[in-house]
Amino acid sequence: MIEVENLTKFYGNFQALKGISFTVEKGEILGFLGPNGAGKTTTMRILTCYFPATAGRARVAGFDVFEDAIEVRKRIGYLPENVPLYRDMTAEEYLRFVAGIKGVPSREITKRVERVMDDCGITHMRKKLIGELSKGYRQRVGLAQALVNDPEVLILDEPTIGLDPKQIIDIRRLIRDLAGRRTVILSTHILPEVSMTCQRVIIINDGRLVAMDTTKNLTARLQGNYRLIVKVEGPREAVIETLKKIKGIESVEPAGDGKNGGVTELVLNMDKRMDVRRDIPVAIVNNGWGLLEMKPIEMSLEDIFVKLVTKE
Amino acid sequence: MRNILLVFKKEVKSYFSSPVAYVVIAMFLIITGYLFYGLFAYFSTISFQAQIDPALARQARLLNITESVIRPLFGIISMIILIMTPLLTMRLFSEEKKTGTIELLLTYPITDLQVIVGKFFACMFVLLVMLVLSFIFPGLVIYFGEPEIGPIVSGYMGLILLGASFVSFGIFASSLTENQIIAATISFGVLFLFWMLGLSIPFVGPALGKFIDYISITHHLESFAKGVIDTEDIIYYTVFTLLFLFLTLRTLESHRWRG
Ligand SMILES: Nc1ncnc2c1ncn2[C@@H]1O[C@H](COP(=O)(O)OP(=O)(O)O)[C@@H](O)[C@H]1O
Ligand SMILES: [Mg+2]
């Protein structure tokens, strides 16, 4: 549904996107994860034909975003980052305006607008000026305008930013309910958001794609303490050699600065299927060394994220 | 076409749902009314005196109501329009840029040109409302005196064309900046310069003088106010209007390329 190939964007001399490629299948909800300034908004603005890329190609529903901008725009519902809406219009007026511009036939406008107001839970706010609505309701109006032409593709840029926790939960649920058979790209810099709403995740940092995986795989990595940190009082080389021999330990990485007066600090990567927590102290004590500490490293999505992002 | 109409309706609604249009229209009518009263009162005094002073009675120009009331009235109205249009045009793009709404507008299936044209006609609509209301003043003249109708009709035509070029330039200025005050200042300043150009004619050479006379906005209004509809004047205003609408289009495009 969405194909992005080697997308590059310069703002003057500053390169915001350094060649990003990915595809999104029809009906998929893709999380677009990255810290502030990673290039999420820039990518989305190119996909929504707000501005062209400096180089590279992007196609939405088979149409090139540059060559066939109008065709692409007809098929997209876009919610920009700060939800810029006309404050001097009422929610209903605004939605009717957008429905018209998005090519909803005149006689269907009323029906469509009623429908999205109902879906987004803003029917009782229809006569209010958008400028008078709370942030949460404005977000809903923003979603409603994105959905009003029943688009195939939804592009949502940080849809929960600036909301309070309850509103965040509501909006996430709304997005999941409304996604339906649509293809959705949702950007965020909050990790749990991705695991809650998306099937697949792309992580970008500094204009580059650093990881692409299913949410399932990413969260699977969280489960179980498959990494241990150990502190051993003993000679570094010998300790590493000994531990490597234990079945079930896949690799041993030195940790800490190594200047800890005879104490060796190591991170052990382990096969999840084998529990070797008993074998480690035995091996160490048998060698006459002291086991000072042994604890599991809980890899959270945050850790994965930080690791991926700081790898370079 | 439908898109243009939608933008047009939205903008007109927005003008009339805020005090902007009302304040601008009211100020326009008050100032025009005051100056019209001055012209009219002066004319009545002169005509009255002419009845007892035969020397004065021989000055036909002063006693012609078209010459001494209607024609200066068009000059006055055009001047006030010059002051008022920047206030109407300043928000058209600046505000959208400042609040970010332009991002959504320009990602809807609508072309930049449709947006510009819709906004242009919305502003022209407010201007037309102003001009229609200002018809009270020549209307009074028609009621009390016997002015020539021709110059009134052509004068209004001239005002509409002149207004269109003011609006077009104002929209262009608004597309340049997200600051409404700057947009208004640019459009007022530049339009005023065009206006004042005529005054410099006596001080420059004849060749340059002729050129300046041609590009000066006022020069082209004068013949309309005299009842003369010259294609050259129509072309001047049309080209002026189209030129700045085109430059607005280019500005929007270049903003896109720069991001
Ligand atoms: N209009 C612009 N002009 C110059 N630099 C910009 C512009 N927009 C964004 N940037 C820069 O490009 C980088 C990526 O921005 P953005 O795509 O907004 O990131 P994100 O949405 O992931 O936070 C940032 O470093 C930002 O400062
Ligand atoms: Mg962003």
Which residue numbers in chain A have pLDDT < 70?
218-226, 257-260, 272-273, 298-312
In the structure, what pLDDT confidence band is assigned to residue B143 with cuts at 50, 70 and 90? confident
B152-167 pLDDT per residue, tens = 888 899 999 999 999 9
- Minimal CA–CA distance to B25: which of B95, B80, B97, B107? B80
Which residues touch A45 (CB under 8 Å, ≥6 apart)?
A51, B103, B259
Question: Tell me, what's the pLDDT at B224?
Answer: 81
Question: Tell me, what's the pLDDT at A36?
Answer: 85
Question: Tell me, what's the pLDDT at B181?
Answer: 95
Collapsing DSSP states into helix, strand and coil, what is residue A301?
helix
| DSSP run (H or E) holding B119 | helix B112-134
Question: Tell me, what's the pLDDT at A311?
Answer: 45
In the structure, what pLDDT confidence band is assigned to residue B182 with cuts at 50, 70 and 90? very high
CA pair distance A161, A6, nearest whole angstrom: 28
Range of the domain at B183: 2-258
A209-241 pLDDT per residue, tens = 887 877 777 666 555 446 788 888 888 888 888
| DSSP run (H or E) holding A79 | strand A76-79
Tell how far the Cα of A40 is from the centroid of ligand 1, in angstroms: 8
Span of A130-134, A165-169, B64-68, B230-234 with lowest mean pLDDT = B64-68
The residue with greater pLDDT, A273 or B39, is B39
Domain count, chain B: 1
From chain B, which residues contact A within 8 Å (Cβ)? 2-3, 6-7, 10, 13-14, 17-18, 99-104, 106-111, 256-259
Question: Tell me, what's the pLDDT at B221?
Answer: 79
Contact A264, A239 (CB under 8 A): yes
- Residue recorded with tokens 């009331």: B69
Question: Tell me, what's the pLDDT at B256?
Answer: 76
Whether B204 shows a pLDDT value over 50: the answer reads yes
Q: Mutation target for A interface from B14, B107, B257: give the one with most A CBs within 10 A.
A: B107
The whole-chain average pLDDT of chain B stands at 87
Residues of B in contact with A52 (CB under 8 A): 256-257
Contact A138, A31 (CB under 8 A): no
Whether B35 shows a pLDDT value over 80: the answer reads yes
Whether B121 shows a pLDDT value over 50: the answer reads yes
What average pLDDT does the segment B1-20 reach? 92
Helix, strand, coil: what percent of chain B each, to 5? 90, 0, 10
List A11's β-bridge partners, or say none.
Answer: A14
- For the CA of A9, the nearest ligand: 1
Residues of B in contact with A108 (CB under 8 A): none
Contact B13 A48 (CB under 8 A): no
Question: Tell me, what's the pLDDT at B20?
Answer: 86
Contact A102, A149 (CB under 8 A): yes
| A263-270 vs A227-233, strand pairing mode | antiparallel
CA pair distance A255, A253, nearest whole angstrom: 6
Question: Which chain A residue has its CA at the smallest distance from B107's CA?
Answer: A50
- Minimal CA–CA distance to A144: which of A89, A91, A193, A73? A91
In the structure, what pLDDT confidence band is assigned to residue B247 with cuts at 50, 70 and 90? very high
A110-130 pLDDT per residue, tens = 999 999 999 888 999 999 999
What average pLDDT does the segment B216-245 reach? 85
Contact A141, A91 (CB under 8 A): yes
Question: Tell me, what's the pLDDT at A312?
Answer: 36
Collapsing DSSP states into helix, strand and coil, what is residue B179?
coil
- For the CA of A10, the nearest ligand: 1
Question: Tell me, what's the pLDDT at A177?
Answer: 83
- Minimal CA–CA distance to B146: which of B67, B228, B74? B67
**Cα of A39 vs its chain's centroid, Å:** 12
Q: Which two tokens stand for residue B237?
A: 């205003």
Residues of A in contact with B122 (CB under 8 A): none
Quote the Cα angle for B226-B227-B229, to 5°.
Answer: 115
Span of A126-135, A276-285, B44-53, B89-98 with lowest mean pLDDT = B44-53
Tell me the CA distances in angstroms from B193 to A52, A53, B172, B216, one per residue in order. Answer: 37, 40, 16, 9
Whether B98 shows a pLDDT value over 60: the answer reads yes
Question: Tell me, what's the pLDDT at A161?
Answer: 83
